[in-house]
Structure 1
Amino acid sequence: MKVQFLKSTVREFPPADKPEVVFVGRSNVGKSSLINMVTGRNIARVSKEPGRTRTINYFLLEDSVYLVDVPGYGFARVPKEEQERWKSMMENYFRERKENIKMVFVLIDAVAGVQKLDEQMLEWLQFIGVPFTVVLTKTDKAKQKELSRTLKQVKGYVGETAIVMSSAKEGKGKKEILSRIFS
């Protein structure tokens, strides 16, 4: 699979000449690991420390679609002012690129379950009318009880058809995610 890093930016986006697929989720939910698993390359920087992604990162997949990795929300250890800048940057990005965004993958940790900030993200995406799919990450680490609880929480927001189970470690969900990216 052909993929290349294009740029990290705060507000100077690439030309709106290709559809964009965006990966959002809490800090440390596994966005970069998932992007690496889906593309088959270690192209997105993975860190064990929450909040390492601080810009909007563009990758070009198969010369036809932009994959967009955005800063995580939640428990990143950064000053409140930095979190406010990220929030403003995200709102600006979605406002400017709404017509170009064809899918948002909302990553939710299968072990931790749906958190308040995840609920807010799902409600906000519904409000602004952007199509999204929930990707449950780290399913390999979740006990059956945790997975059942998280699935029940998510189904309350999106139903069953907009959920993909994934594990970057095991490669689970890759086919489903690529199918949604290219459809």
Structure 2
Amino acid sequence: MPERSMMEILDAIGDEFISEFDEIARAAHSRYRSYRPEDLIEHDVRAQAACTYAHMLAEGDRRFMGRPRVRTIDLRGLKLWHFEDADVVVRLKKMDEDGRTRNYPTKQAKNFDRQLELPGLPSPPVRLTAGYVLDATGTGLVRSQIAMPAGRDALWCAAIVPREERVSAERIWVDATRQARAL
């Protein structure tokens, strides 16, 4: 497991990019919700996630392609952005409130989530997932967040504060890692 703390990793990424992850998730969700109601009603949870994911990837490309020290990586369909100065690789996904994602259990997805080496991916950058959480109805965006996967779970999760709710001189993210209950 990487030895850097959540604060060290997020500080290395920087507020500018963290803010962009929030804007990417919000733009993708808004674009999906702008579909005609008669089309939305026909989509199940998987179709909704697939459409939103496609919009996130396109928005990520628009924001990150051509930026210095940000490299787009496509590993056999796994779209990633390597933020070289932070030594972090980020993928975009729908998440739950704990920062967990659901993956088709490919070896590649498991290795990404376990922070293991992947062929074609520079090593040893930290692997993170940035994305969004929906409400119980699946229609409202609860928040954008960024998490460090650790197998099926997340080592930590940070909620990104929406731009309009940010307070000057405060962090633009809040630790949203759920604390384990003592038995």
- For normalisation by structure 2, the TM-score amounts to 0.31
Larger radius of gyration: 2
Greater length-normalized contact order (CA 8 Å, ≥ 6 residues apart): 1
